[in-house]
Amino acid sequence: MKVMVLSSVALVLFALIFPVAASWNTLPEPTDPVPDVTEGPTEDGGSPFYVPDSPPASDGAVTVRLLDGGEVRELSLFDYLTFSVASEMPVAFAPEALRAQAVALRTFYMYTLAHPSHEGADICSDSACCAAWHGEDFFRNKWGADYEANIAKARSAVSDTDGLILTFGGQPALAAFHSSSAGRTEDSGSVWSASLPYLVSVESPESAETVPNYVSGVTVSATEFRDTILGAYPEADLSGPVSAWIGEPVLTGSGRVSSVPIGGVSVPGTVLRSLFGLRSTALSFEASGDTVTLTSTGYGHGVGMSQYGANVMASEGADFREILANYYPGTELREL
């Protein structure tokens, strides 16, 4: 078995036992979106028409039981990962970013085997629970004549990283990922109930120049804002002027909103994001007159690998190992 240490910084081994149903549904926020496969940079790369004669040895030898639309499908890990990569990351991204995504998804699949949450299946196709997965028919309808070229990029990313997973303490890591960050990723302990030593806040290089809709805003009437907050926190006092409703937010180490006082009640940033359909908890507020504007930067819970950040790193010359080392410090890259 080959072992590749991804970080030169030694971390103290950390043992954490998750509940049995430790999937995307119980850890990252269920409102996190699946990035649109049409978004992202337009550069192509890799071998656009490469189709392996047979599935790679390691991924081809593993059978995945996939719960998809109430039906359990059995397919090779190679085929599962190919379509999951295409579902989770724009195939127009740089090849090394796609390879990093393939490793993250393979790692998460192995993690689910140790933390099962579906009776009779290993993993499901719902991004709000596990990881996104759409089959061949979906992509043929979506891409049309470009199907073969596009799916070949995902196949190459999986084949080129055959059997590689991230481990920590000898076990598959929880390889969380999200669409884009606001300069830094988030510490897992700021989002979930426990902190993992390899899911800590690190720098991420994406910006408004490299991410569509990097900064987005939601403006609502003062009445709608008040009614929404009171629906969740009836004890809040929103009787004064609008400009006095929102206090100074408490920020996490990455600059996201941990909580913010609204009408004298501390509202978690994650709850505020859910209530108003915001893209992230990297928030700023403006309340005046008859409106309240909430502006967010980036997209997703912010934990683990930023997909757009990975693409920027790849475009600047980083390979998938360097990308993974940045976003999952202290993990090791191992073969199945």
Q: How many CB atoms lie within 10 A of CB 18?
A: 17
CA distances to 49, 265, 276 from 103, in Å: 21, 42, 33
CA distances to 225, 260, 304 from 266, in Å: 15, 5, 26
pLDDT digits (tens, 9 = 90+) for 116-165: 999 999 999 999 999 999 999 999 999 999 999 999 999 999 999 999 99
Instruction: Check residue 1 and give its pLDDT.
Output: 42
Q: What letter would DSSP give residue 135?
A: -
Please report which helix (H) or strand (E) contains residue 74, including its range: strand 71-76
CA distances to 206, 228, 319, 332 from 316, in Å: 11, 43, 9, 23
Q: CB-based burial of residue 218 (10 Å sphere; 0-12 exposed, 13-18 middle, 19+ buried)?
A: middle
Task: Print pLDDT tens along the chain (336 aa).
Answer: 444 434 333 333 333 333 333 333 333 343 343 333 333 332 333 333 344 456 677 999 999 999 999 999 999 999 999 999 999 999 999 999 999 999 999 999 999 999 999 999 999 999 999 999 999 999 999 999 999 999 999 999 999 999 999 999 999 999 999 999 999 999 999 999 889 999 999 999 999 999 999 999 999 999 999 999 999 999 999 999 999 999 999 999 999 999 999 999 999 999 999 999 999 999 999 998 899 999 999 999 999 999 999 999 999 999 999 999 999 999 999 998
**Can you tell me the distance from the alpha carbon of 17 to that of 69, in angstroms, rounded to the nearest whole number?**
30
Instruction: Check residue 40 and give its pLDDT.
Output: 35
Three-state SS for 260-304 is EEECCEEEEHHHHHHHHCCCCCCEEEEEECCEEEEEEECECCCEC
Helix, strand, coil percentages in the chain from 3-state DSSP, rounded to 5: 30, 20, 50
CA distances to 52, 67, 72, 168 from 125, in Å: 24, 6, 10, 25
Q: CB-based burial of residue 52 (10 Å sphere; 0-12 exposed, 13-18 middle, 19+ buried)?
A: middle
Asked if 116 and 129 count as a contact pair (C-beta separation under 8 A), the reply is no
Instruction: Check residue 57 and give its pLDDT.
Output: 76
Tokens of 95: 């090849």
Instruction: Check residue 36 and give its pLDDT.
Output: 34
Tokens of 257: 């909103």
| CB contact set of 142 (below 8 Å; sequence gap of 6+) | 37
Asked if 156 and 45 count as a contact pair (C-beta separation under 8 A), the reply is no
Instruction: Check residue 296 and give its pLDDT.
Output: 98
| CB contact set of 98 (below 8 Å; sequence gap of 6+) | 46, 85, 89, 91, 153, 154, 156, 157
**Can you tell me the distance from the alpha carbon of 193 to that of 19, in angstroms, rounded to the nearest whole number?**
11
Instruction: Check residue 39 and give its pLDDT.
Output: 34
List 108's β-bridge partners, or say none.
Answer: none
Q: CB-based burial of residue 254 (10 Å sphere; 0-12 exposed, 13-18 middle, 19+ buried)?
A: buried
Asked if 306 and 205 count as a contact pair (C-beta separation under 8 A), the reply is no
